[in-house]
Amino acid sequence: MKIFVTGVTGFLGQELAETLISHGHEIATLTRNVARGDRATNTESMIKGESISGVRYYFGDLADYLVVSDALKDFQPDVIIHLAAQTSVAYSFTHMKEVFDVNFIGVFNMSEAARREVPNLKRFIWSGSAEEYGIQSEEAYPTKEDDIQLHAASPYGVAKIASENWLKYLNLAYGFPCIVFRNANSFGRKHSHQFVIENIIFQMIQGKSPIKLGDPEPIRDFIFEPDLLDAYVMAAESDSSELLGEAINITTSEPISIRDLAAEIAKITNYHGEIQWNSFPKRALEIPKLNMDNSKAKRLLGWEPKHTLKDGLNVTASYWMK
């Protein structure tokens, strides 16, 4: 198949592209043509290499509809996997327009260009987020995908909800073959320590005391990168029409508080120092607690995670401790 993957310079995208190539698929992507000196130092693939062998590159910005449209018209993919996004929730509070331009307008441009220029598109798989659930009543836990109102607790969440609503509108109005993944918090980054698990590991292996962390009370589901990768590959290669128009939780259904998470990582990294909690400004809204149900993913995709949180932490920690 011909698969167009956005976000191949990111955490999951590079390994996803390489995996799909190894399965015999033809891969293309859209990437910004940025000078080496201007590239963010935490960009995964730019640290590991300039390009991926076997990927066809189109250069442009997601916010530029004409560039996106021309790329899709030329490549004519069977499947689109749209991963590209500004992924930091914290960043969205101070950079709201940038996040909305990338995380909503980017989805609008990709999907509308696909609808107009790729008449034989089979699947449009989009990376949503558990942040879409925002603040829910505890009676809703474990949180299922259906019959629940989404309540954003961040500008990031607002953009993700808007994108999902747009894709579902396209599905209802035009039969657009979208699939929405509401991903749990992912971890397994080898080079970036911006996100919570990698951040805790990075600080603890430095051996300094105290380390600085945020609110210890939120409860989250986490998913290890190889499990997340498997879900996208399975959806890309599936012929099931049941997936189309669906929102699916991609999660372990094993929630843990940030406080308990830090304690587990301390055991793995042999950290015995102190933790300075609430070292960063709190969100404008209460940080929600979340426990997600993954039964729909098991039923529709035949997918379930292979790694426990502790196993995944051990693998991730090994990258940082080498």
pLDDT at residue number 234: 98
The pLDDT value given to residue 141: 85
The CATH architecture assigned to 2-186+224-253+292-306 reads 3-Layer(aba) Sandwich (3.40)
Q: Percent of the chain at pLDDT above 70?
A: 94
* pLDDT one-digit tens code per residue, 39-87: 444 444 444 446 889 999 999 999 999 999 999 999 999 999 999 999 9
pLDDT at residue 250 in the model: 98
Reported confidence tier of residue 321, pLDDT bands at 50, 70, 90: confident
220-234 pLDDT, tens per residue?
999 999 999 999 999
| Cα(228)–Cα(189) distance, integer angstroms | 12
Distance in angstroms (rounded) separating the CA atoms of residues 292 and 27: 32
Poorest-confidence range of 34-43, 126-135, 248-257, 262-271? 34-43
Res 50: pLDDT = 62
pLDDT band at 209 (very low <50, low <70, confident <90, very high): very high
Amino acid at 102: V
